[in-house]
Amino acid sequence: MKKLALISIACSFLLAGCWDERLYKEFTIVPLVGYDREEGELTGYHTYTTVSAPDMLSYSTVVGKGASVKEVGFDANRKIGETLDFSQLQVILVSEEMAKSNLLETFDVLFREPHNRLSSKLAVVEGEIASYMEKTEEMGLEAPDFYLKNLKTAAAHSIIPDINVNEASTRINDKGIDLFLPYIKMSESGEIPELAGVALFSNKVFSGHTLDDKESLIVNILAKQPGKFTVFSYEWKQGNKTYPITVEIARYTKKWNIHDNQIDANYKVKLSVEEFAHNHLNDEKTVKELEQFLSKEMTKDFNKVIKKLQEAKSDAVGFGRTVRAFHPHLWNEGKWQDTFAELDIEVKVKAKIAHSGILN
């Protein structure tokens, strides 16, 4: 009897974890969600997987309403009679209105519950969220795959920052840098969502300002967070003819000199020429002229972007991190976003052609 009791106790230990098992058959995976807020009420659009035929997955969308993300989820559960599971969430879309509140507070549940994924991508969309949740013929892919693929490709090409939910929370909590998220618009035909650039945040909330794709690429360069490929295109005039030139940044260095209320940001950029029909890149004079042209154009564009960031009071580059660390007098002048907007920031880009491809 004693032995039996001991064996039973020992065996009960093997059951540890059984209480907490999470079987796929009991949950419905949600890879894409979209949230909108109107008059304090949250509306959530959940794209979830259904098995339409053996070995075939399809997606449906269910809408839930409530005061919080969790309540919205419960409302959606009731409507479809299944339990939605957010542990495999790939993309979260939020409306502009929603982004004007602190996202960290709204998405508290993502951080509090350990099985939620923090590597999901986050994006702001223009207008009403409902139209972005349905698959259109133009998309070619199911909506969750479409958004994930587009966001990943754009991040690889430095057009948007490679920011996930966790990185977004770090930026929201950091007083020395502002968040910027991919900004998606519906195409003019209204058939396909397009990545339009980035939405700029100021002091934890969406500022209402956006940057287009070329400008957001520059922010990524300024912050030294480029993706795998960073390409710029310009038109170079030579005599009466115009030649397009496309260069890719091979590598670059940044140096910020911060003194008084002024920041001199110097960037030395080594470029690889990808497209230049004028050729003659073996001619020192041409190379020099081209380098001067690129330095001037890039400097002009980079400064334009800085002005836009200052207008939006959004330090997406993260000058504030350096200021907080090494220039406390400037940091302590007041709220950083206000100080940043008033700073005299001058960017200088020095371009150098490092590679010309396999042609001269």
Partner 1 sequence: MKFMLSRNQFFLLLFIVQTGSSFFSFPAPFVNAAGRDAWLLFIVSAIFHYMLLLFYERNYDYFTMGPFVSWLYKGYWLFVVISYLAYVDYTLAVWGFPKTPQYIVIGILVTVSLYANLSRAETAINLPVLLIPLILAFLGFLQFAWGDVIWTNIFPIGQITGTEWWKGLLKGQTAFIGIELYLVFRSRVDIKQNIKGLPLFVYQMTWFLFFFFSVLLTIWYFTPTGVKLVPEPLLFLLRTQEVTFIERLDLFFLYIWTVWTIVTVTLVSFTALYVHRQHAKEKQVRDTIIWHVLLVVLPLFFLKKENVDYLNDLIIYVHLVFAIIIPVIVIFINRRKRK
Q: What minimum distance in Å lies between the beta carbon of 40 and partner 1? A: 25
**Ramachandran sector of residue 321 (left: φ over 0; alpha: ψ -120 to 50; beta: rest):** alpha
Do the beta carbons of residue 179 and residue 312 sit within 8 Å?
no
Indicate whether 229 belongs to the interface with partner 1 (CB under 8 A): no
Query: How far apart are the C-alpha atoms of 251 and 268, rounded to whole Å?
Result: 9
**Which CB sits closer to partner 1, 166 or 310?**
166
Q: What is the phi/psi pair of residue 205, to 5°? A: -125, 160
Of the candidate spans 34-42, 110-118, 124-132, 280-288, the one that interacts with partner 1 by CB under 8 A turns out to be 110-118
Site for partner 1 (CB under 8 A): which residue of 52, 58, 83, 119?
119
Query: How far apart are the C-alpha atoms of 198 and 317, rounded to whole Å?
Result: 13
Indicate whether 321 belongs to the interface with partner 1 (CB under 8 A): yes
Indicate whether 297 belongs to the interface with partner 1 (CB under 8 A): no
For 331-343, b/e burial (b = at least 16 CB within 10 A) is: beeeebbebbbeb
Of the candidate spans 5-13, 153-161, 255-263, 293-301, the one that interacts with partner 1 by CB under 8 A turns out to be 5-13
Q: What minimum distance in Å lies between the beta carbon of 172 and partner 1? A: 9
First to last CA, the chain: 91
Of the candidate spans 18-26, 28-36, 207-215, 227-235, the one that interacts with partner 1 by CB under 8 A turns out to be 18-26
Indicate whether 11 belongs to the interface with partner 1 (CB under 8 A): no
Of the candidate spans 7-15, 90-98, 214-222, 241-249, the one that interacts with partner 1 by CB under 8 A turns out to be 7-15
**Which CB sits closer to partner 1, 97 or 167?**
167
DSSP for 283-338 reads: SHHHHHHHHHHHHHHHHHHHHHHHHHHHHTT---S-HHHHHHHH-HHHHTTS-HHH
Indicate whether 166 belongs to the interface with partner 1 (CB under 8 A): yes
Please report, as residue ranges, which positions from 58 to 87 form the binding site for partner 1 (by CB under 8 A): 87
Indicate whether 240 belongs to the interface with partner 1 (CB under 8 A): no
Please report, as residue ranges, which positions from 20 to 59 form the binding site for partner 1 (by CB under 8 A): 20
Q: What minimum distance in Å lies between the beta carbon of 136 and partner 1? A: 29
Strands 121-125 and 180-186: parallel
**Which CB sits closer to partner 1, 80 or 156?**
156
Q: What is the phi/psi pair of residue 118, to 5°? A: -100, 0
Query: How far apart are the C-alpha atoms of 167 and 314, rounded to whole Å?
Result: 17
- SS3 for 183? strand
Of the candidate spans 23-31, 114-122, 137-145, 186-194, the one that interacts with partner 1 by CB under 8 A turns out to be 114-122
Residues that bind partner 1 (CB under 8 A): 9-10, 12-13, 15-20, 87, 111, 114-115, 117-119, 164, 166-167, 169-170, 173-175, 321-322, 324-326, 328
